[in-house]
Amino acid sequence: MPKNLIEKAVIKALVNRVTGLDQKGGNERIKTVAQRLLSDLFIAIDDLDIQMDEIWAAVAFLEKAGKEKQLGLIVPGIGLEHFLDLRLDAAEQQAGISGGTSRTIEGPLYVAGAPLSKGEARLDDGTDDGEILFMQGRVLDITGKPVSGAIVDVWHANTGGYYSHFGPEQSPYNLRRRIETDTEGRYKFRSIMPSGYGCPPGSESETLMKSLGRHARRPAHIHFFVSAPGYRHLTTQINIDGDQYLHDDFAFATRGDLIPPVKRVDEPASMKEHGLNKPFASIDFDFTILKDVKGTIGTIVHRERATV
């Protein structure tokens, strides 16, 4: 079939009717956004001569991806979630807000309501014989002053690359905790070194990545929400240095200041101090959060999340 069969004026008139722009009522914001997206879609179909079979294959793909809860992986995989972070970065810079720890994607695997501890916590339930990890640091404001009472909400995968409440059975809230910083802004937790993961084999998310000539793997990482009254909510994650996918994350989440060094500790005195008789890994990382500014775009994202 030839390209560019339909005049742009015809497309515009059709889209205006479809989105209700030629009549009163409805949600004006939804109508405006739908008009733009459908206009771009219809023009792309005509410009690229996208066939009916291709359209219906895409519809079937999206239906199946939704049923199998794959859209949460597809959104970061196509760079959309990272793009939203870039826009928020730009909006903050335009408003004169800068200097905090870099944000990066939340991903689809957060679960609300993890147990809350003061100062420190153990994340793992002891059933995974992975490398023991201690991570510690402080939550600071832009001047370097500690933020007492901040909540560090942390979650990560096990050594198999699986998160609790997703995939193979784990104990409730395994590898998930909320930690309230002490008077010096300090937090600390014991856990196990996480592994990276990939889209499920044969899934729509993996199929899409392969169709784009890309892999569907993520490096090992640890997620965080960091929040405190009067401060902007921070969504971020650190990546584990040395992972083969560190700078080739299919979700585009790696940022330069979010790759702290990993120290391997085998000194007997340090092992004893930590209640261990074997080596462990240690990561130091301070979070810098920014004061909230009235009238600027918010950083708390309202989206569907899993609950227990």
Q: How does residue 296 score in pLDDT terms, banded at 50, 70 and 90?
A: confident
Would you say residue 307 lies in a domain?
Answer: no
Beta-carbon contacts of 261 under 8 Å, excluding residues fewer than 6 positions away, are: 241, 283, 284
Instruction: State whether residue 263 is helix, strand or coil.
Output: strand
Helix (H) or strand (E) holding 239: strand 234-239
- pLDDT for res 22: 87
Q: Please give the tally of structural domains in the chain.
A: 2
Would you say residue 13 lies in a domain?
Answer: yes
Q: Are residues 182 and 78 in the same domain?
A: yes
Q: Are residues 159 and 264 in the same domain?
A: yes
Q: Are residues 40 and 98 in the same domain?
A: no
What is the span of the domain harbouring residue 39? 8-50
Q: Are residues 133 and 99 in the same domain?
A: yes
Question: What is the mean pLDDT of the segment spanning 63-90?
Answer: 97
Would you say residue 66 lies in a domain?
Answer: no
Strand locations in 104-215, DSSP E?
116-118, 120-122, 132-140, 151-156, 176-180, 186-192, 197-198
Q: Are residues 40 and 188 in the same domain?
A: no
Whole-structure pTM value: 0.96
- pLDDT for res 2: 82
Could you read off the pLDDT of 105-164 as tens digits, one per residue? 999 999 999 999 999 999 999 999 999 999 999 999 999 999 999 999 999 999 999 999
- pLDDT for res 3: 86
Q: Are residues 219 and 101 in the same domain?
A: yes
Q: Are residues 105 and 34 in the same domain?
A: no
Q: How does residue 252 score in pLDDT terms, banded at 50, 70 and 90?
A: very high
Q: Are residues 81 and 15 in the same domain?
A: no
Would you say residue 212 lies in a domain?
Answer: yes
User: What percentage of the chain carries pLDDT values higher than 90?
Assistant: 95
Question: What is the mean pLDDT of the segment spanning 199-221?
Answer: 98
Q: Are residues 23 and 163 in the same domain?
A: no
Question: What is the mean pLDDT of the segment spanning 17-35?
Answer: 95
Q: Are residues 200 and 258 in the same domain?
A: yes
Q: Are residues 15 and 146 in the same domain?
A: no
